[in-house]
Structure 1
Amino acid sequence: MKDLIFPENFIWGSATAAHQVESMNTHADIWAEEHVEGSIYKDKSDRTCDHYRHYREDIALMAGAGLKAYRFSIEWARIEPREGEFPAEAIAHYADVLAACEEHGLTPVVTLHHFTSPQWLMKYGGWKGEKTPYYFGRYARYVLKALGKHIPYIITMNEINIATMLKQLFAEWNFVPPIGMAAEGWTAPEWREQAAKACGTDLDHYFTIHMASEPEHIEIIRQAHNEAVKAAREYAPQAKVGVSLALSDVCAVRGGEKVADKVWQSYFGQYKDIYMNADFAAVQNYEREIYDAKGRVPHGEKEELTECGYPYCPEAVSSVVRRVYKETGLPVMVTENGIATQDDDRRIDFIREAIAGLHSAIKDGVPLLGYIYWSSLDNLEWAMGFDKHFGLIAVDRENMRRTVKPSCRYLGSIAQNNGLLNYADKNIKEQRIS
């Protein structure tokens, strides 16, 4: 038994996304998707966790459990619900979220775009529109001019490769993508047409971030990220800026090396230059993918699966962190990693094993900045609804009562100790197939 102590000022925290926890984000494109006829969303975000009103309670609970950081997103559709309109109460709200973090000693890690966009952006082509980088840059400048001096870490955009991952994973018929989109529903033209109308446009212009997988769309994302970086350099020069990718630990069995390399190129390689225009690489990992010469290898019948259908694999995150650092040379921050389960003992196991693997990576020279668990609250997991339990804090959606889980206190104790105490080496599972 020995102590696994992390570097000084290591960031320990948990994360949320505005649309998934705030409730009543009525001006967002995803709100429109949820509420149209034929929607593929299992549940609606009318009443998620009501975090927009309960944020001070939630921040106090995180800090009280021992956590040291809170990653949250600022909602563009609230800041600019109609083109060119910036209601004062919206920016004041997020200013108070930052103030609450400061009062409770939580380091804020702020995401400027976490999947959702204002409905009005769809009139301009959404994430294939030539004007989108300008509009996103204008929003970023407005936010950072007002709040930037209070933000030490900025994530410009969340999982900019999400559309590429969805496109790849839809090819695996029985696989549930990370955002929970069913392949047959995602391709239904009637549903998309209704969503476009709800956003005040037509099917030719309607284009959410989840659809932006082709090179010309990635170029729009690149430009938008760069505009946000410029805004950060001007209004938050003290802040470290990153952009996040969703990255599975892509592995190969004998004969599958070329297939796995192609998948990694699609997930990571084609976005690498966007990563490089940042101060750190934000990594988000939930699973390992294994490939042979024919494609993805199905999981074994006896493998333990999470509520999302992913094999239990806490060691995957350290493998991804090592690979990203090797290919970029950038400091790395784990901005999402977690498990969907109602077995909180198993969540504790997952956190312990993931963190042990990350400590091993640090010992081998990886400059890891922090570990942020997904998620702070049991929330709306996009199209999968409310029955996927990632949270460290449970939320009773009838009365909005919060219950701090033992796993929250466990991660909080790790944060307070800045590492794992009395850890048994036998639990470290750093196993890669290739």
Structure 2
Amino acid sequence: MALASVVAVAVTSLTVSADVHAAPQALPRDFAWGVSSSGFQSEGSSPDSNWTRYAASGRTHDRIGSSVDFRHRYREDIARAADLGVGVYRVGVEWARVEPRPGVVDRAELAYYDDMIAAIVEAGMRPMITLDHWVYPGWIADRGGWASASTPALWLRNARRVVDRYARHDPYWITINEPFTYVTNEIRAGSIAPTAVPTMLDRLVDVHRTIYHHIHRRDPDAMVSSNVAYIPTVEPLLDTQFVDRVADTLDFIGVDYYYSISPADTNAWNAAIEQQWNAPVAADGLYYALRDMARRYPSKPLYVVESGMPTRDSAGRPDGYRRGDHLRDLVYWVQRARGDGIDVIGYNYWSLTDNYEWGSYTPRFGLYTVDVATDPILTRRPTDAVAAYRQITADNGVPATYRPTRPAEFCSLVAAPASCTEPVR
């Protein structure tokens, strides 16, 4: 549908849209609140991997270095998460740490993950464990990465080891983080050729399906997914390449939402050129992303595995949106989605602290900000969103009197055309 037609239909539909003053609905008592992170981005002192090589190649803005040193400060960060009142902490178990050379398991690194995951459980939270957050060992890169026919079997050997070790903690499982973006990054880095995209996707589908069944043999009640980076407007097309092919092996649909787009603000392209702080982040887009996924996968509950807002360094955004206000607005739209019958079961904020955003420390997403480049002691400084999230978890959402600080987009294109022709107000 042409943009002009979408806008025209939206104008006529405004008279039948929901009440502009609609209240957020109460969430169920078992709704999951959490924070998300990844191993490579936060641990620091990273062993040889595809991404340490990308960062060392000169093609990225910053090298990884210490990152925020979660590797040695995990207990204090886990305590910060527990103090927020969240019940889920998403972490990764990095293959490159666990198996630094073919067939050689680093027992000290396994002991680190043992202690870190046990600390999450001891703090009263449920781990959400990511098996692959775009990082694999350097020796896998030497063999061709996902272009090599040997990679799936080696990936599965490691994944089974992780599952067998930590299934007793009843974690949520994320098999592969944002598969389509994973493939895109590998093309951009030159690790696979564009012609190899179908092969890599086939291999990701196969390893997901295989490890899903292994997890369920260990724990029949396990909750397993692979989170989607929701790309405005084109997501249904992208999902034909992975999500549609594994839908029968997803216990919930994991949704990552960051950026919006509308006729009034078409600056979403800034996210693609690594100026995320200039990209629009209208919170109502989360509602449309959830509604779209619920309609296309009606038998599956939804979990917001990642959502947040980028700033440039520790400065405010050009649009003046504050992190705490944006967080409350996002939660409002989650509650509106629940009120409209969309089965959303959890929400994770990305991220607890700032971290290495795949080549740069400039974009900041943390509830706690950390100046990696200038602060040698890596002080965690709370943003205004820390108090906001603490209140949200205490109240299990925003109150019925809450109204978003920013109005809904007149014609959101996040899940076009429906997000424009069927607006929620």
What range is the shorter-chain TM-score in? 0.7 to 0.9
Residue type at the aligned position of 1:111? T
| 3-state SS of 2:399 partner | strand
Equivalent residue number for residue 408 of structure 2: 429
1:232-271 equivalence runs, <5 A:
232-250=215-233, 263-271=234-242
Equivalent residue number for residue 79 of structure 1: 98
Equivalent residue number for residue 28 of structure 1: 49
**CA distance in structure 2 between the aligned counterparts of 1:298 and 1:145, rounded to whole angstroms:** 45
Q: RMSD over aligned Cα, in angstroms?
A: 2.9
The worse-fitting range, judged by mean Cα deviation, of 6-15 and 127-136 is 127-136
1:332 to 285, 302, 323: 302
1:343 to 316, 329, 337: 316
Residue type at the aligned position of 2:332? A
Residue type at the aligned position of 2:74? Y
| 3-state SS of 1:221 partner | helix
1:283-432 equivalence runs, <5 A:
283-289=255-261, 307-329=276-298, 330-341=300-311, 342-343=315-316, 346-383=322-359, 385-397=360-372, 398-425=376-403, 429=408, 431=412, 432=419
**CA distance in structure 2 between the aligned counterparts of 1:138 and 1:352, rounded to whole angstroms:** 41
2:153 to 134, 157, 160: 134
Residue type at the aligned position of 1:5? A
Q: Is the CA contact (8 Å cut-off) linking 2:24 and 2:339 kept in structure 1? A: no
**CA distance in structure 2 between the aligned counterparts of 1:317 and 1:213, rounded to whole angstroms:** 32
Q: Which runs of 5+ in 1 are unaligned?
A: 167-178, 193-205, 251-262
Summarize deviations over 1:275-302 as a string: whole Å, max 9, x none: 43110111111112459xxxx955699x
Q: Is the CA contact (8 Å cut-off) linking 1:247 and 1:320 kept in structure 2? A: yes
Residue type at the aligned position of 1:387? T
| 3-state SS of 2:132 partner | coil
Q: How much does 1:15 deviate? A: 0.8
**CA distance in structure 1 between the aligned counterparts of 2:287 and 2:55, rounded to whole angstroms:** 35
1:265-280 equivalence runs, <5 A:
265-271=236-242, 272-280=244-252
Equivalent residue number for residue 109 of structure 2: 90
Residue type at the aligned position of 1:24? S
**CA distance in structure 2 between the aligned counterparts of 1:401 and 1:408, rounded to whole angstroms:** 15
Equivalent residue number for residue 253 of structure 2: 281
Q: How much does 1:217 deviate? A: 1.8
1:143 to 162, 169, 175: 162
Q: 1:417 to 1:116 in 2, by over 3 A?
A: same
1:113 to 125, 132, 139: 132
Q: Which runs of 5+ in 2 are unaligned?
A: 1-20, 413-418
What is the TM-score normalised by the length of structure 2? 0.81
Question: Is 1:11 the counterpart of 2:32 in the alignment?
Answer: yes
**CA distance in structure 2 between the aligned counterparts of 1:127 and 1:212, rounded to whole angstroms:** 13
**CA distance in structure 2 between the aligned counterparts of 1:31 and 1:401, rounded to whole angstroms:** 24
1:228 to 201, 205, 211: 211
Q: 1:153 to 1:426 in 2, by over 3 A?
A: closer
Q: Is the CA contact (8 Å cut-off) linking 1:379 and 1:389 kept in structure 2? A: yes
Moved segments of 4+, more than 6 Å: none
How many percent of aligned residue pairs carry the same amino acid?
27
Q: How much does 1:152 deviate? A: 2.6
Equivalent residue number for residue 195 of structure 1: none
